[in-house]
Structure 1
Amino acid sequence: MTIKQFIPSSIKTALKQAVPVTLVDRFEIITGQRDSLTPPKRLHFVGGGDFKSHGDAFFGRFREIGDLQPTDRVLDVGSGVGRLAVPLAQYLTTSNCYEGIEIVKDGVDWCQQFITKKYPEFRFGHLNIYNKTYNPAGQVLASEVVFPFPADSFTFCFLTSVFTHMLEKDVVHYLKELYRVLKPGGRVYFTIFLLNTDSRRLIDAGRSSIALKPFTDLSMVESTDAPENAIAFDETFIVNTLAEIGFVIKGGIRYGYWSGRTENFYDYQDTLVVTR
């Protein structure tokens, strides 16, 4: 039982409207609506579902197929509001173990204020990259950005639901940057929407969870006006790009159920683990 159960909803609403956001955040924590490492709902821009359970689920997959180790040095590309940083903070054991980079500054600010304060080895940086959906005021093109780390810096990198919001030339550039900052033998875990015979058939049949339409020769999007909302890429293009850069796919492609697949799926999005 928590304090909030004794406070009428009308009073809680009035309090939230009358006081600054920082005080609202503290009120939610004090009344048990969330803990101090769970961001307020106004900052949830990384997908639906329960914040903690989704983070824990991905953490389990990192260990299951990504061979994540407590001694890994981790790069979180698209760190959002720390959904995956929080479970990692209970697992990684070495100093200088985690870097998160994100294009939405509000997410970075929150993570710095609450996660880094408690776990100083977890650092978060803002990349002011243009994205029509998530950062329309960005000043840097994703196809030109240089990740702010030296070569061979990390042993494990991950991107969850990042490539599903990027144009194809930007994805290629990010993969090259990941290869540069990854140590030999390191792994990259990423999710993506892949277009192949099966997924195209299901999309054409209206079975996909996202209504996609042709955009380029290599991609389909939910909205041609805002392609970064949701974008899928030709599988052969992605596989060939990985090989050209030097990555090796570990364990094959694990297909998701986003396209309407009803069996032999791993997660919602398609999942790959690649090694350098």
Structure 2
Amino acid sequence: MSRLSVNQETIKQWSLPELAIGCEAAGVRQVGLWREPVREYGLARTARLMGDAGLGVTSLCRGGFLTDAEPAARRRALDDNRAALDEAATLGTDTLVLVSGGLPAGSRDLAGARERVAEAVGELCPYAAERGVRLAIEPLHPMFAADRCVVSTLAQALDLAERFPADRVGVVVDTYHLWWDDRVPEQIARAGAGGRVHSFQLADWVTPLPAGVLLGRGQLGDGCVDFRAFRSMVESAGFDGAIEVEIFNEELWARPGAEVLAELLDRFHRFVC
């Protein structure tokens, strides 16, 4: 349980101070944060809040959206990612999660979009290294390829990451996005051999999918993901870092935060430990 990290979006109904107080009371020592609420509360204030509560920040979400081919849009995306790296360093996390971005409007060129992601990561690497932050490429389920993430498999993410030093660019293993892929065991082993598992995130896959699929992640144990199998694979690959629970679910957000956290702790113990 000491490895559990609660991603801020899992209990989105809590403000940052409520998250700090609730996690401290429950004995949770690590959290994953998102840029938008951090900016609203204030970057320096958030860093102080986390430090005063004794909470480590395991990741910052998110950077990325690097597929645009238009020069001005591309410059804006790179500048935004540099800002995200600055924010991650201020918060004391060594991991910035990258969601690559979908196809530009009117494009059908997946390979070209992925190549632009690789080029952008190459531009960001020196800046990330100066700030002591790693770039973690997150593959998303293929249903998001058109509008959100052209990197759909762990193999594709590793193909991009392996162009760069392992201490600078790695991957996110997220059960919600990868549970279906029969190549995941060999790809997790590949990632581990190269020291590239930079983040391990949990959420369940539930059916029927809700109308807003993005918000359809399930509480641990409510769906079909074998969390112990995933944990065994990443640990066999050498990963011993935080296990971050990141669930986007409107039903969870409608409930009292303390109730959701208590349920999460119970489910983590029953289905992950």
Instruction: From the CA coordinates, give the structure whose radius of gyration is larger.
Output: 1
TM-score, normalised to structure 1, is 0.38
The structure whose residues are more often helix, as a share, is 2
- TM-score, reference length from structure 2: 0.39
